[in-house]
């Protein structure tokens, strides 16, 4: 069953999404060589508490932190750590905010200090691929239209799309139906309908798409040690088109 949300539910998720977006904008200001992802994680917990919200990831299926912080070849679910970030690193901060019972989910990749042109191209292509997916998130389209738009663009730029991790429906719980694959065929998969709320969150690798799992049972990294980036928004499907609930104005 794919749930469809009322206008009121979407408004509440949008409020959570606006707070999440403002959290990312604060993180962007902190993102300098020398800061640790643990400091960012602690900042996020305090910032959300100050705004009457909580970090839904903390304790979710035993996940220990408020944020996921995935550095360089880490694809997703990196643990925040006490080691300072270095000039030239790229890091993805992912979090789910709960405000007044409503959830929103958004990940953003950041450059630490100056990064080289190829790293910048990876970030640009990954972000653009997210927006190409979002364009397809309209009533009547199918989930495969989103995946196809992302995959064809990313592979055309000679990067690859991670297959093992997907976007998802989101509502009362963080992960609901349907799965949103970031690859696939147009016209395939569940049909998108007004009121559905989904995440689109392409993870794009500089090398091969395959991943391997760290011993902590959470963190996925690229199989070949190449870099990985990710951008994620929470999107409501409306008759006026895709409504991005986590947009950073």
Q: Annotated binding site for substrate: which residue ranges?
A: 77, 175
249, 239, 233: which is closest to 97 by C-alpha?
233
Q: Which of the listed partners (ligand MF3, Co ion, none) does 181 bind, with a CB threshold of 5 to 8 Å by partner kind?
A: none
168, 164, 163: which is closest to 150 by C-alpha?
163
Q: Which of the listed partners (ligand MF3, Co ion, none) does 60 bind, with a CB threshold of 5 to 8 Å by partner kind?
A: ligand MF3
Q: Which of the listed partners (ligand MF3, Co ion, none) does 68 bind, with a CB threshold of 5 to 8 Å by partner kind?
A: ligand MF3
Q: Report d(CA 91, CA 94) in Å as an integer.
A: 10
Which residues participate in the annotated binding site? Answer: 77, 94, 105, 168, 175, 201, 232
Q: Closer to ligand MF3 at the Cβ: 26 or 114?
A: 26
Q: Are 24 and 106 in contact (CB under 8 A)?
A: yes
Q: Closer to ligand MF3 at the Cβ: 104 or 115?
A: 104
Degrees to nearest 5, angle at CA 95 with 208 and 119:
35
In angstroms, give the least distance from the CB of 13 to ligand MF3: 14
| Torsion, Cα of 15, 17, 219, 196 (10° steps) | 100
Q: Closer to Co ion at the Cβ: 88 or 150?
A: 150
Which residues participate in the annotated binding site for a divalent metal cation? Answer: 94, 105, 168, 201, 232
Q: Report d(CA 171, CA 181) in Å as an integer.
A: 18
Interface residues with ligand MF3 (CB under 6 A) are: 57, 60-61, 63, 68, 77, 94, 96, 105, 199, 201, 232
């Amino acid at each position: 069953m794919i749930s469809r949300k009322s206008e009121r539910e979407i408004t509440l998720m949008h409020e959570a999404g606006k707070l999440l977006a403002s959290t990312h904008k604060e993180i962007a200001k902190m993102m300098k060589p020398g800061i640790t992802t643990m400091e960012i994680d602690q900042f996020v917990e305090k910032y959300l508490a100050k705004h009457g919200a909580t970090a839904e990831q903390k304790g979710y299926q035993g996940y220990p932190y408020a944020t996921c912080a995935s550095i360089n070849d880490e694809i997703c679910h990196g643990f925040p750590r006490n080691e300072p970030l270095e000039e030239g690193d790229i890091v993805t901060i992912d979090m789910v905010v709960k405000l007044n019972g409503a959830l929103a989910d958004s990940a953003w990749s950041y450059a630490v200090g100056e990064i080289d042109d190829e790293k910048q191209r990876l970030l640009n292509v990954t972000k653009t691929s997210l927006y190409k997916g979002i364009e397809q998130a309209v009533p009547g389209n199918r989930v495969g239209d989103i995946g196809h738009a992302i995959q064809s663009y990313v592979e055309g730029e000679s990067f690859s799309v991670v297959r093992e991790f997907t976007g998802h429906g989101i509502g009362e719980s963080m992960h609901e139906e349907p799965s949103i694959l970031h690859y696939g065929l147009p016209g395939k998969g569940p049909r998108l309908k007004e009121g559905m709320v989904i995440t689109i969150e392409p993870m794009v690798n500089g090398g091969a798409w395959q991943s391997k799992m760290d011993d902590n049972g959470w963190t996925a990294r690229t199989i070949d040690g190449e870099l990985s980036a990710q951008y994620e928004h929470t999107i409501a499907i409306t008759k006026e088109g895709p409504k991005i609930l986590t947009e950073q104005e």
